[in-house]
A and B are shown apart, each in its own frame.
Chain A
Amino acid sequence: MRKYLYIFKSEIMTNIQYIGNVLFGFIGFFVMMFIFLNLWQAIYDDPNELIAGYNMNQTIWYVAITEVLWSIISGRKYTKKIVEDVKTGNITYNLNKPYSYIGYSIFNHLAGCFIRFLVYFILGLLLVFIFLGSFPSLDIVQILLVLLTIFLATLINTLLLTFIGLFSFIVEDSNPFYWVYSKLILVLGVMFPIEFFPPIVQTFINYSPIYVVSYGPARLFVNFNYSDFISIIIAQLIYLIISFLLCLLIYKKGVKKLNVNGG
C-alpha cells in the first residue's frame, strides 16, 4: 500500500505545481453557478414552492453539489491517457514495475480529485452559501456520511473511467464511450434532480451509474435520510465491486493480446 500512497503523493506534488490551473477552472464553475442561480430563481415564482418535491434552495443546492462533484471527479484527460497507453503500447512499460497498472492509474487520478476537492468543495459550497444565505440542515454525522458517499462516488467513477479507457483493448479507441458517459452524467445527473424527469427515465437513472456517482450523494446532501443512505451505500458497494472486477478482467485479457512493435 505504501507504494500506492507514494504514487498519490507524487501526483499531488505534480498537481501543486499547477494549482493555478485548478483555481482558474473554478472561474468556469463560478459562471455556471451564477447562471443556474438566476435560472432557478426565475423558474420558481415562490422559493418555497415545490417542483418534483424540491424547493428552490434544495434544487440550487442539488445542482451545486452535483456540479462540484462532477468538477472533482470527471476525468477526460485521465481516460484519454489510458486510451493512449493502450493504443501506443505504453501500458506495457508499466508491466515490469512492481505495481499494478490499475492501482497506479487509480491513485494517480484520486490525487487530482483530492486537489480539486479541496478547491471546489470548500470554495464551491462557500460560494453557493453566499448566494443563498443558507445551508442544508445536516448534522456532523450526516455530513461525514455524505462525504463517505462522495468518496465512494469518486472511487466508482475512477474505476468506470479506467474501464472505459481499457476498453481500447477491444475497440482500439474508446474515447467516444467517455463522451457518451460524461454527457449522460451531465444531462441526467448534474443539471436537474432526477425527480424532474419522466418516470421511465427515472427508472433508467436509478439502475445506471448516475445514481451512485451523482444523484445519490447530492440527494443525501439536500435531503438526508437514513433509509436513502442505506440504499445508496448498498448500490455504491455493488457498483464498486462490479466496476473493479470489470477492470481486472479487461486488463488481464487485454495485456495477453498486446502487440507492441519496435522500440
Chain B
Amino acid sequence: MTIIKADHLYKTFRIKEKEKGFKGSLKAIFKPKYKTIKAVNNISFEVEKGEIIAFIGPNGAGKSTTIKMLTGILYPSKGEVSVLDINPIKNRKKLAYQIGTVFGQKEQLWTHLTPYDNFKFFGAIYDINEKVVEKKINEFRELFELDEFINVPVRNLSLGQRIRCEIVASLIHNPKVLFLDEPTIGLDPVVKENIRTLIKRLNKEYKTTIFLTSHDVGDIEKLCKRVIIINSGKVVLDDTMENLKYHYLNKKIVEVKMKEMVNLDNEKGITILKDKGYNLKIEVDTKKRSVADAIKLLNPDNILDINISNTPLEEIISDIYKKEAKK
C-alpha cells in the first residue's frame, strides 16, 4: 500500500541577489535583482506502508525542501504530492493529525516547560482525550526511558534527551508516518545508537512508516532497507540497501602483511592504496580481477596476515554524489 507519493515534483525559489560592496547594497534598494533556484527538479518516488526509507543527499540537494512539501509546509511549484491519500497543500490540517515531524535542527518543544507538560500540550493540540494522552505518556516513558528527566524543564536537558522528547512529542497523536529530518545531528555515538534502536522499535511495534533524512551513514545502514539519493534536486538513485551494496561493492580492500615484498605496479584491476614495504593495502576491482587472483599474485605462502573488506558505505555514497556532480 502506497503511503507517500511524489509525482514530478518541482520547487523553485526566487532569491535576491546583491552586487558586492556598499554600492551594490544601494543598487539593491532601487533595482533589486533576483535569481531563480531549482531546489527540487522533477522528483518522483513512492513509499510503501511500514517502510523505513532513507532520503539522502549532500547539503543543498533538496532533501529538506522535499520533506517540507510532503508535510504541507511548502507549496510545490509544479507536480503532485500525496501522503496517506491526502494532498498536503489542500488539506494541511487534516494531514497534520496523521503525521509526525521531527526536525533535528528545530525545536518544537516549549523550552521552559517539562517534557511531561509538553506531551500534555501536544496531546491537547491534537485533540486527544486527556486519559489517552496520559496512557500514551506512560507507554513512551518506558519505551524511551524518560523517567529520569520527564519533570525537568526542557531547557535543562542534554541534546540526546531533548531529541528523545522531540520524537515522543511527535508521536503522541499516533501518527501513521513519521518524518525525521536529521534526527541524530550533533549526538554522540552512544546516544545515536540509542535513538536508532528506538526508531527501529517504533517501526516494528507501531508499524509507523518512517521517512528519514540524515548525513550519518550509520543511521541509513542500520535503519533503512531502501535508500533514495538526491543531488541537485534530482533523484540519482532509488534502490534497496542490498542492491546499493551489491552494485557498488565491486571493489574490495585487501590489507596484507608479507614475508617478502611484492611488486604489483601496473597490474590490471589493482590500485595500491598504501605501500609500506611488507605491509600493503590494495583495492581490487572485482569486475577486472577476482580477489582470489589478486591473492595469487601476492603468493599465499608469502602472506603472514590478511584482511579483506568492503568499501565503506560512506565512500560509496560520496562516490555517487561526485559522479552526479561531474555530470
Contacts and interface: CB of A to CB of B under 8 A. Distances in A.
Given A6-B124, A7-B125, A260 B113 contact: no
Interface residues on A, range: 20 to 34
B125 A3 contact: yes
Contacts of B117: 10, 13
A97 B124 CA distance: 12
Interface string B217-246: 000000000000000000000000000000
B29 to A, nearest CB: 12
B182 A96 contact: no
A96 B60 contact: no
Given A259-B14, A262-B59, A2 B101 contact: no
A14 B124 contact: no
A6 B95 contact: no
A10 B99 CA distance: 23
Interface stretch (A87-95, A156-164, A225-233): A87-95
Given A14-B112, A96-B71, A96-B92, A261 B124 contact: no
A256 interface: yes
B225 to A, nearest CB: 24
B95 to A, nearest CB: 7
B45 interface: no
Nearest to B59: A262
B95 A96 contact: yes
Contact of A2 (B97, B106, B127): B127
Contact of A262 (B64, B71, B96, B126): B64
Interface in A138-197: none
Interface stretch (B72-80, B285-293, B301-309): B72-80
A6 B133 CA distance: 14
Interface in A236-256: 256
A6 B121 contact: yes
B272 to A, nearest CB: 40
Nearest to A97: B96
Q: How large is the interface on B (under 10, 10 to 19, 20 to 34, 35 or more residues)?
A: 35 or more
Interface in B83-138: 88, 92-93, 95-97, 99, 101, 103-106, 108, 110, 112-113, 117, 120-121, 124-127
B39 A96 contact: no
Contact of B96 (A7, A17, A96): A96
A162 to B, nearest CB: 19
A93 B39 CA distance: 19
Interface in A1-25: 2-3, 6-7, 10, 13-14, 17-18
B125 A259 contact: no
A99 B63 contact: no
Nearest to B112: A14
B110 A14 contact: yes
Contact of A95 (B59, B72, B127): B72
Contacts of B73: 92-93, 95-96, 260
Interface of B: 13-15, 37, 39, 59-60, 63-65, 68, 71-75, 88, 92-93, 95-97, 99, 101, 103-106, 108, 110, 112-113, 117, 120-121, 124-127, 153, 181-182, 213
14 contacts: A3-B124, A3-B127, A6-B120, A10-B110, A92-B73, A93-B106, A95-B73, A95-B92, A96-B71, A96-B101, A98-B97, A261-B60, A263-B105, A263-B213
Given A10-B121, A13-B113, 13 more contacts: A3-B125, A3-B127, A7-B121, A10-B117, A93-B106, A95-B92, A96-B88, A96-B101, A98-B96, A259-B15, A260-B74, A263-B63, A263-B64
8 closest Cβ contacts across the A-B interface?
A6-B124, A263-B64, A14-B112, A3-B125, A98-B96, A92-B73, A96-B71, A259-B13
